Chains A and B, each alone.
Chain A
Amino acid sequence: AQSVTQPDIHITVSEGASLELRCNYSYGATPYLFWYVQSPGQGLQLLLKYFSGDTLVQGIKGFEAEFKRSQSSFNLRKPSVHWSDAAEYFCASYGSGNTGKLIFGQGTTLQVKP
């Protein structure tokens, strides 16, 4: 069955430091991959997506992610974290033909130290 794994439940970084959140997917073909961010009590905001083509994708708020087929990974990165980036981050995917049926990872909570 298709699955998404985020190995890190909680990450703490200092403001200004770089960030990498890990995501691994399990799907035979190339999945559609997404990163979403959620602030407490709020809905999900799309940061970026990968469908095909260039494996390095740029998103909003200075985030980027790299698709690596050989490692079944889609890690999210940001060169310099701001205090406002503290939130929960979700990696998600679905296979072709399953529009709307996103499979989510368990989420990574990001804490930013001043």
Chain B
Amino acid sequence: KAGVTQTPRYLIKTRGQQVTLSCSPISGHRSVSWYQQTPGQGLQFLFEYFSETQRNKGNFPGRFSGRQFSNSRSEMNVSTLELGDSALYLCASTTGDEKLFFGSGTQLSVL
């Protein structure tokens, strides 16, 4: 069974641009959640989607948004990028048995 797949693996953007990250969950998993990891703030929850609906949301500004498609694939979008958005963005999926399986992440660098 394939794991959680995140694309792209690396991204370099400049301030003010926007970016879209993609996550394909493990087959059969309907819940997808997103996390931001930085050296200073550690791992922080962004949001969670289940059956195309946002079910939980972390404490991030509105520039961070996401969506989930009918096949459970998810995207997150960050608009008007800031230097502080440079981070490893991790996606995780679950069947609802409380165990999250993480992808390898997308490393975003904002210059």
Contact = CB atoms under 8 A, between A and B. Distances in A.
Give chain B's interface residue range (CB within 8 Å of chain A).
Answer: 20 to 34
Given A44-B102, A49-B98, A100 B90 contact: no
A49 B94 CA distance: 14
Contact of B55 (A46, A51, A100): A100
A99 B98 contact: yes
Contact of A98 (B56, B94, B104): B56
A99 B54 CA distance: 12
Interface stretch (B11-19, B40-48, B79-87): B40-48
B84 to A, nearest CB: 18
B45 A99 contact: no
Nearest to B31: A100
A101 B104 contact: no
A92 B32 CA distance: 17
A106 B107 CA distance: 19
A102 B101 contact: no
A43 B45 contact: no
Interface residues of A, number: 23
B104 A99 contact: no
Contact of A100 (B4, B88, B92): B92
B21 to A, nearest CB: 13
A100 B102 contact: no
Interface string A35-72: 01000011111100101000000000000000000000
A90 interface: yes
B1 interface: no
Interface of B: 4, 31-33, 35, 42-45, 48, 50, 55-56, 58, 88, 90, 92, 94, 96, 98-105, 107
Q: Which 7 A-B pairs have the closest CB atoms?
A: A100-B48, A100-B33, A43-B102, A104-B43, A44-B102, A43-B104, A101-B56
Interface of A: 32, 34, 36, 41-46, 49, 51, 90, 92, 98-107
14 contacts: A41-B104, A43-B102, A92-B43, A99-B50, A99-B56, A100-B31, A100-B50, A100-B56, A100-B92, A101-B33, A101-B48, A102-B100, A106-B42, A107-B42
